[in-house]
A and B are shown apart, each in its own frame.
Chain A
Amino acid sequence: MSLPKWLADPGGNPSAPASHPVRGNAATVARKGLSEIAKALSDSKGRGRVTSDDGFYQRVDPRTKVVLTTLFVVASTIVHSWLALALCYALAVFICLVSNLSGERLWRVWLTVPLFTLVLMLPATLNLFNPGAVLIRLSGPVSVGAWTIPNGLSVTLPGALAAARMCLRTACCVTFVLALAFSTPNTRLFKGLRSLGVPGLFVTVLDIMNRYLQAVSQTAQEIHLAKISRTLERSGLRTEHEWVAAGVGSLYRRTLALSQNVQWAMVSRGYTGEVRTHSPMRMDTTDWLLLIVSLLVFGLVVGLG
């Protein structure tokens, strides 16, 4: 079931059909929740589906990709030189480009995380945290009660460099992770994790969770839709809290019922608790070559410091 745009919009829409009269803060909160679930549902539909089948990284064995991603995410967090970080970032972007990775969700995460870091790092650019050569003077001496900054507030060069380095570091990590997530179907990714030694219980639970996440999200969406379609006027805070409780409680009961059904279905197919997977994954020459090159580049990046 897909939501009409006007219903998924948290701000509401004046042109909403009259059959859905929604007023007051209560409905806005429910709408906000509904909008987020709708976004998660569309994400979960897109998740596990690679953005393009025709790309370099899509053809690489998931195990190689997991090792490569781990190596370079770790490298991005341990190196400090600009050259090493720039090399890591260039490699991540290169992988995305040659693999035709794109899409709204990729851009959303790819841009949001470094931007979020930039916002968090803004105070660190000030002389309060990183004194040094002044780049931009923001104010003269500041005095608030007993608290004074005689030199005033200014953006400093060490502060700006520290913030820029953090943003680049975060961007590197996010790009590598997104390249892995957007080029590998989830089932293959989980099989890859299993063959890399991650315990079977974790991988199985992860796999089932991922498979039924959409069903649980859909139930949550129905709960929100039911609320919005029955909201005629503003209700009190306590009523709203009771609705959230009833919604979460009802979701929990339906989740239990669903898990029971899934369990019966699995047992009926012969599941006894032992995880058996048919893994057609095979590392070919390209995978081994990529792994060796990755190790060499990792050594180079770490060597650059």
Chain B
Amino acid sequence: MHIPDGYLGPQTYLTTYAVSIPLWAVASAVVKRRMPLSRVPLLALSAAFCFVIMMFNVPIPGGTSGHAVGSVLVAILLGPWEAVIAVTLTLVVQAMLFGDGGITCIGANSLTMAVLMPLAGWSVYRFMISKGTPSLRRQMVAGVLAGYVGVNVAALATAVLLGIQPVLCHDAFGRPIYCPYGVSVTVPAMMIGHLALIGIVEATVTGFVLSYLYRTDPNLLGWTSGTTSGPVPPGRWQRLAIGLVVLVLLTPIGLYLPIAFHSGASWGEWGSQELEARVGFVPKGLGRLETTWRAPLPDYSLEGDKPSTLFRRALTYTGAGLLGVLVVGSVTLLLRRQIAGRDPSR
């Protein structure tokens, strides 16, 4: 997954640096706040640990073996922002001293393996064990899922970064200058291997190590404030609820701005009438499929296409936003309850 120099054009690697640098700054600030500077050796040795666990071979059914990246495991053990720093530094050492991954691609590699992978994996893990001390089984399942999701998210991001090169960087004849394969090649090429093999390796290492630590020394799984198991403090739920309500109340801006700027529907979201006005005809398949499903609240309003005042539309738009939040929230809570309900320790 380490992208070498020369595979990404400057547009891409500069952008990934522009995205990564603020994330490194945030990670650095969070780590400084959470971890006293006198514990810097812990961070350094965690980076060394991260480097070394990549050397553990994991047997896979079929007689072969593979390596784990370990970002998700480090995120769960130390905290997500600590993992961002530890894995980034591992990547820097690999690039500068071992030639593994390019210097210009440190931003891109860090974005995929040190940011997206640990954050995605850690989020899955936290979702799975969001309340109380989990059972051994749930700990293992959470680790397996977190590892699998984390590494596949990173692989997908890498595939996309490589796959967009022919579109972004090509010569006057349209020939690619950097990675020559488009997303139609890079995504299957990366994802088949990761979904079928490497994902299993990452999942195995993350799940089994967590269950081993849970059995032998459960304190290690809750030693940082960010990773301790336990209910989310009530203050956080209130802040989340207030934030959601504010966002819902702001949704009518989405109605007002297109009118103010005289713009039509979002690109690619045209209805058959607007499409016909643009290209002069309605594609047959589109016309047929458009009527397959009649939404109960078309265009987030009660009136659908019928004319209505802006105030009334704003009211129904806000109501639709509120309804959406309630439905999504309820489904999420139900799912969580389902998962937690199967756990005998709960």
Partner of B4, one of A26, A113, A180, A201: A113
Q: Is B103 an interface residue (CB 8 A)?
A: yes
Q: Is A84 an interface residue (CB 8 A)?
A: no
Given the complex, which residues of A lie within 8 Å of B173, measured CB to CB?
158
Given the complex, which residues of A lie within 8 Å of B37, measured CB to CB?
201, 272-274
Q: Given the complex of chains A and B, what is the CA–CA distance between A36 and B67 in angstroms?
A: 11
Given the complex, which residues of A lie within 8 Å of B42, measured CB to CB?
256, 259-260, 263
Stretch at the interface among A146-154, A210-218, A283-291: A210-218
Partner of A255, one of B7, B10, B36, B46: B46
How large, as a class, is the contact surface on chain A? 35 or more
Q: Least Cβ distance of B104 to chain A in Å?
A: 5
| Residue interface bits A38-67, CB-to-B below 8 A is 1, else 0 | 001001000100000000000000000000
A-B contact count (CB 8 A): 235
Partner of A263, one of B10, B41, B204: B41
Q: Given the complex of chains A and B, what is the CA–CA distance between A271 and B46 in angstroms?
A: 19
Q: Given the complex of chains A and B, what is the CA–CA distance between A37 and B55 in angstroms?
A: 6
Interchain CB contact under 8 A, A245 and B205: yes
Given the complex, which residues of B lie within 8 Å of A263, measured CB to CB?
38-42
Q: Given the complex of chains A and B, what is the CA–CA distance between A205 and B88 in angstroms?
A: 11
Q: Is B6 an interface residue (CB 8 A)?
A: yes
Interchain CB contact under 8 A, A202 and B41: no
Q: Given the complex of chains A and B, what is the CA–CA distance between A43 and B185 in angstroms?
A: 35
Size of the chain B interface, CB-CB below 8 angstroms: 72
Output the nearest chain A residue to B169 by Cβ-Cβ distance: A80
Given the complex, which residues of B lie within 8 Å of A33, measured CB to CB?
55-57
Q: Given A177-B103, A213-B48, A259-B46, A245 and B208 touching (CB < 8 A)?
A: yes
Given the complex, which residues of B lie within 8 Å of A102, measured CB to CB?
none
Q: Is A30 an interface residue (CB 8 A)?
A: yes
Stretch at the interface among A93-101, A137-145, A234-242, A292-300: A234-242
Q: Which residues does B use to contact A, with CB under 8 Å?
A: 4-10, 13, 24, 28, 31-32, 36-49, 51-53, 55-59, 61, 63, 65, 70, 73, 77, 85, 89-90, 92-93, 95-99, 102-104, 171, 173, 175-178, 180-181, 185, 204-205, 208-209, 211-213, 216-217, 220
**Chain A to chain B contacts (Cβ below 8 Å), 6 pairs:** A181-B97, A206-B44, A209-B45, A212-B45, A248-B56, A272-B37
